[in-house]
Each structure stands twice: as structure tokens, then as C-alpha cells.
Amino acid sequence: MVEADSPLTYEAAIARIEEIVRRLDSGDAGLRETLALVREGRELVEYCAGELEDVSRGLEELHLDELVTRLEGGT
């Protein structure tokens, strides 16, 4: 599960998703563990998607700021 007490980074989430995939691919996880891993993986994927969306919005804002500067006669 996504830990509430430690700050999660995109990179840490991706690393954990890779661990989950390896565990699931191994075939060694039982039914309940598989369910728990899939749930955790889904939460992590949703977190990563949100992070990518935030970064994308930030990049769009940067491009808009650059365009406004150019239109105002700046460099």
C-alpha cells in the first residue's frame, strides 16, 4: 500500500511497481497476496499518472509564460 507517513516520489513508486510485477510474474504469490499486490500496484499507477499530469501542466504553464514574454517584446 502507498505509505502515508513517508513522502512518495515518482521514482520510488515506479521502483515499487517493478517489484510488484516481478513478484506477480514469479507465480509464487498466493491468491490473497496477489490481490493485495494488484491493489497496491493500482494505487501506485494512479499516483504516477497524477504526477505525470502535474508535470505536464507545469510544462504547459512554462511554455505559456515564455510565449507571453515573447509577445510582450522580451527575449
By residue range, what is the domain housing residue 32? 10-71
**DSSP-assigned states of every residue in the chain:** ---SSS---HHHHHHHHHHHHHHHHHT---HHHHHHHHHHHHHHHHHHHHHHHHHHHHHHHHHHHHHHHHHTT--
Local confidence band at 74 (pLDDT 50, 70, 90 cut-offs): low
- Is the pLDDT at 43 greater than 60, yes or no? yes
- Evaluate whether residue 51 is within a structural domain: yes
> Structural domain tally of the chain?
1
- Evaluate whether residue 3 is within a structural domain: no
Whole-structure pTM value: 0.74
- Evaluate whether residue 54 is within a structural domain: yes
For 4-39, the pLDDT digits (tens) are 556 799 999 999 999 999 999 999 999 999 999 999
- Evaluate whether residue 5 is within a structural domain: no
| Distance separating the N- and C-terminal Cα atoms of the chain | 47
Mean pLDDT of the chain: 88
Q: What is the pLDDT of residue 61?
A: 79
- Evaluate whether residue 1 is within a structural domain: no
- Evaluate whether residue 63 is within a structural domain: yes
Question: Cα dist. 26→18, 23, 34, 51, 65 in Å?
Answer: 12, 5, 11, 29, 48
